[in-house]
Amino acid sequence: MDLVQRTSSEPLDLLETAVEIARRAADTAARMRAEAVSSTIDTKSTDTDVVTAADRAVERQIAEELRTLRPGDALLGEEYGSAGEGAAVRWIVDPIDGTVNYLYGLPQYAVSIAAEVDGVVLAGVVRNAATGDEWTASRGGGAFHDGRPIRGSRQTVLAQALVGTGFGYDAARRTHQAAVLSGLLPHVRDIRRFGAASLDLCFAAEGLIDAYYEKGLNPWDHAAGGLVAREAGLTVAGLDGAEPGLPMVIAAPPALFGPLHDRLSALDAAGGA
């Protein structure tokens, strides 16, 4: 593999780099899953927060390739934190989003890579390592699934909306999220939980679900998928005018965003642990 250094900060050039690296990383994740390397398990904050040896290996691979291709850039990764602070370009990486799915062999786990320039995400790719499905976006350039342009749902009525969400690993947070879900469920068509935020955002981006919300997402969980959703015409934000982040991420078509936002705000969805 011949890796040549690159310096462009144009969205499409950044996206090209992200896609190349994500495809190789997804191949590694799938191969390691097939070889049962994922049976090596560690834990983070709780017993259910599973981190596999593959998660770390894939992030190391991505980081090494980025250092070779773009040695002056910064990196924020789920497993190894920040490197190269102060650079104009920062790569935001989730090596395997959906590690519990990965552990169990459920085909909903993805490599997520976003490129941020001066604090603005300009390019992103989410690749399902189990299926090969790939979602891409560049700022102002639209959103795509395997090269096909995508747009979000046309649903305008919250009561008819299929809404995706996810849950944290901490028991206290789960308790609050369960209460929020209980309050929301009577007001929507139904709820889906797939177990990988980056894929949830991409599903919303092409209307496979009508909207999505979740508390507790880190930048690597939503940077790439959030750009895909925005470029597909969705509003992506937090509650009460906040930016999307740890307290809340909502992604919905404009017609659904307001009603979903107001319902979640009334339920104190950003509160709790």
pLDDT at residue number 14:
97
pLDDT per residue over 163-172, tens digit each?
999 999 899 9
Report if pTM > 0.85. yes
Give the bridge partners for 74, in sequence order. 90
pLDDT band for position 53 (50/70/90)? Answer: confident
Assess whether pLDDT exceeds 70 at residue 45.
Answer: no
* Residue among 109, 140, 119, 128 nearest 230 (CA): 140
pLDDT per residue over 210-233, tens digit each?
999 999 999 999 999 999 999 999
pLDDT band for position 44 (50/70/90)? Answer: very low
pLDDT at residue number 103:
85
pLDDT at residue number 51:
54
pLDDT per residue over 54-105, tens digit each?
889 999 999 999 999 999 999 999 888 888 778 999 999 999 999 989 988 8
Assess whether pLDDT exceeds 90 at residue 239.
Answer: yes
Q: What percent of the chain has pLDDT over 90?
A: 81
273 vs 210, more confident:
210
pLDDT per residue over 4-28, tens digit each?
778 889 999 999 999 999 999 999 9
Sequence-separated (6 or more) residues with CB below 8 Å from residue 66: 21, 73, 75, 91
pLDDT per residue over 112-163, tens digit each?
999 999 999 999 999 999 999 999 999 999 999 999 999 999 999 999 999 9
